[in-house]
């Protein structure tokens, strides 16, 4: 993991490096301890069935969704629509950065 100084936090977008969902993106919806996180994307992996994932099997990305953080702090949960929205915003910004880099 690149960012070993700062562990992934709730609301952060990550890329999955190992397992069935390799290469897909998800949002951290819970931190169980220093080794395990709960991930969801609001589509195939809903908030209620969040995936428990080892931190060594994900790549934390610099994008953090304030919407997701706020929702979890206020209600203890987040809607699947907000998770999809957060990933949509991330992918839009990601595509724009790739275009600028060409």
Q: What is the pLDDT of residue 102?
A: 62
Mean per-residue pLDDT for 14-22? 96
Number of domains making up the chain: 1
The reply to whether 47 falls in a domain is: yes
> pLDDT of 43-83, one tens digit each?
999 999 999 999 999 999 999 999 999 999 999 999 999 99
Percentage, residues of the chain above pLDDT 70? 93
Domain range for 76: 12-101
The reply to whether 40 falls in a domain is: yes
The reply to whether 6 falls in a domain is: no
The reply to whether 24 falls in a domain is: yes
The reply to whether 49 falls in a domain is: yes
- For the chain, the average pLDDT equals 91
Instruction: Assess whether pLDDT exceeds 50 at residue 1.
Output: no
Q: In 3D, which of 68, 38, 59 has the Cα closest to residue 50?
A: 38
Mean per-residue pLDDT for 20-43? 96
The reply to whether 2 falls in a domain is: no
Which uninterrupted H or E stretch holds 36?
strand 36-40
Q: What is the pTM of this model?
A: 0.89
Cα gap 99→37, rounded to integer Å: 31
| Domain CATH number, residue 27 | 2.30.30.30
SS3 of residue 53 by DSSP: strand
Close Cβ partners of 88 (under 8 Å, ≥ 6 residues apart): none
């Amino acid at each position: 993991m690149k960012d070993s100084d700062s562990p992934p936090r709730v609301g952060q977008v990550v890329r999955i490096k190992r397992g069935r969902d390799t290469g897909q993106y998800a949002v951290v919806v819970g931190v169980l301890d220093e080794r395990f996180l709960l991930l969801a994307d609001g589509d195939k992996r809903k908030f209620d069935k969040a995936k428990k994932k080892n931190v060594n099997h994900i790549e934390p990305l610099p994008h953090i969704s304030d919407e997701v953080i706020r929702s979890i702090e206020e209600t203890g949960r987040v809607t699947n629509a907000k998770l999809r929205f957060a990933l949509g915003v991330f992918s839009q910004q990601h595509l724009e950065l790739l275009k600028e880099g060409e």
